[in-house]
Structure formats: C-alpha cells, structure tokens
Amino acid sequence: MEFIIITGLSGAGKSVAMRSMEDIGYYCVDNIPPVLLTTFYDLCEKSSDEHMKKMAIVTDVRSGEVFTDLFTSLDRLKAEEKPCKILFLDAQDDVLLRRYKETRRKHPLVEVAKGSTENALHLERRLLMPVKARADYVIDTSLLAQKQLRERIASLFLGNVNLGMTVTCLSFGFKYGIPSEADLVFDVRCLPNPFYIPELKHHTGLEACVFDYVMQFEQSKGYAERMLSLVDYSLPLYLQEGKSQLVIAAGCTGGKHRSVTMTRVLYQHILESGQKVIVHHRDIAKE
C-alpha cells in the first residue's frame, strides 16, 4: 500500500503534481476532506483492486476550518502503523502572487483575508507550517517549470516509496536563489570557473569539456574528496533518523558549470554506494 498526501500552498503546483502522479500509475483524488483520510485509507487497503494500492490524495486549505482534522488523521495512521508519505509543495510569496495575477484565480482564503491575496498567502503559510514540518518531501516550485516539476515527482515516486530514503542531488545558481528544500548546501563558487574560458562559456557541466576542465585542478579534487567524505558520514545518520528524502545541493554563480560538475560527481558516488538517488539541474537551461 502506497498512500501519498499532496498538500502545500495554493498556486504552488498541486494540480500539476496530481496529474504527474496519475501519469506514473497512482490513483488520485483531489480535495478530500482531511477527516475522511483514515476512512479512505481503510477502504483502499481492503480493496481487491490493485489500482487502489497506489493512492495520491490532495488536501489543502480549500477544506476550510476542517483542514485542522488532518493532524488527527495523520496521528491515527501513525499510531496504527499504516504507511503514508506527505509531499509538500512550496513557493516564494512573490512568485505565488504573480501566478495569481496571471491566472486571475481567487485564493481560497481571500475572503477571510478581507480581499487581500497577499494577506491570504501569509495566513495560509501560517496554517500550513505544522504540515510542512511533518512532510516527507518538500519541493520549492518557485523556479521550476511545469516540466521540471513533473520530472522531479516522477523521479521521487517511481518505485516503492516505503522503501528507504531517496537522495536528490541538485545543482543550482546562487544568482537565482538557494533552494529552500535543500538539507545540505555546498558552495562551489570557490572553484575555477569555466565561464571565463571563451570556448567553454556556452557549454555546461554535463559536457566532457567543462567537466574535465573543472576536475583537472587540485582544489576541485580536494573539494570533491571532502564533500564526499562528509556525505558518506551523514547519510547513515539521516537514514537512522528515518528521513524519506535528503536534498543535497551544490551551487555556483549561474548553475551551469561548476555546480553541475560537482553534482555529477556526487550523484555517481552515491549511486555506486547502492543508495536510491536522483539528480536534478535546476538552473542549467536559464540564460
């Protein structure tokens, strides 16, 4: 039985997430009242239909005041040792405000917030803070295109999510912001920069010319050695803690060269250790 609860801020991409879950074989239900979660779980568990064994449920503040019932339902599932995972979708306030202006949608709490979408977002963020704290997976969609979000979700949930921890190796550019979901962040701006080499400037760390350039230097080799040593020490501790997802991010200035190179080194090392790992280059396609 795989039971995923999708929640998060309005406008952060829950609809895209639900469609993505459907694409990889999950049966999805939108806007279910939190009080019915345990009842629905029991029905799915008892069903002989295999389609009901992989469920994704969307629940959020559209439920109104009864949204607080979510914590009671989660506590009951935990007490009964019924596995479920929470996927929380987040985004920066300015991004959410822009999305609402573009789509002309009304925020579900806008009336409570006396007509102010900005105040509604702040209220929603406060209401969801305890849920985010309990989430197994957190994805910040502020800088993700819909295609990138779909790819992240597919990578996370293909396979049995109840088995162990998934490590996400993420490259990014500091000029676009530090990913809020990162558990460990490595700043690789101290390494030699291919951006200033004319014949490398328009290539990326996915290409041999850039990768080999960065990794030829002793400081890059030394950095990689110490980074991998810290990761090797930390992973068992996170596993012992019971984490479902660990996000390790490496950032350079633009997210195209050094960060991509070091993320590739990190991904290959973790992959060879037998740990479930995925890789994502957030800013590699940005100008």
* CATH number for the domain that contains residue 113: 3.40.50.300
Distances (CA, A) of 106 to 61, 226, 229: 13, 49, 49
Question: Would residue 208 count as lying in a domain?
Answer: yes
Mean pLDDT of the chain: 92
Same domain, 12 and 133: yes
Q: State mean pLDDT over 46-69.
A: 84
Same domain, 69 and 195: no
Same domain, 6 and 55: yes
Q: Which tens digit of pLDDT belongs to each residue from 102-120?
A: 877 889 888 888 889 999 9
Pick the last residue of a domain from 138, 157, 176: 157
Total number of domains constituting the chain: 2
Q: Which tens digit of pLDDT belongs to each residue from 147-180?
A: 999 999 988 888 777 667 899 999 999 999 999 9
Pick the last residue of a domain from 130, 157, 184: 157
Question: Would residue 286 count as lying in a domain?
Answer: no
Same domain, 153 and 181: no
Q: Which residue has the higher pLDDT, 239 or 263?
A: 263
Q: State mean pLDDT over 252-274.
A: 97
Same domain, 146 and 222: no
pTM exceeds cut of 0.75: yes
| Tokens coding 265 | 């080194």
* Domain membership of residue 122 as a residue range: 2-157
Same domain, 150 and 174: no
Q: Which tens digit of pLDDT belongs to each residue from 5-54?
A: 999 999 999 999 999 999 999 999 998 888 889 999 999 888 888 878 89
Same domain, 101 and 179: no
Question: Would residue 287 count as lying in a domain?
Answer: no
The residue type of 182 is: A
Same domain, 101 and 20: yes
Question: Would residue 104 count as lying in a domain?
Answer: yes
Which residue is it, tokens 């109104």? 64
At residue 67 the predicted structure's pLDDT band, cuts being 50, 70 and 90, is confident
Same domain, 211 and 275: yes
Pick the last residue of a domain from 134, 157, 180: 157
Same domain, 94 and 218: no
Same domain, 8 and 147: yes
Number of C-beta neighbours around residue 283 at 10 A: 23
Q: State mean pLDDT over 191-213.
A: 96
Q: State mean pLDDT over 172-196.
A: 96
Same domain, 257 and 183: yes
Question: Would residue 119 count as lying in a domain?
Answer: yes
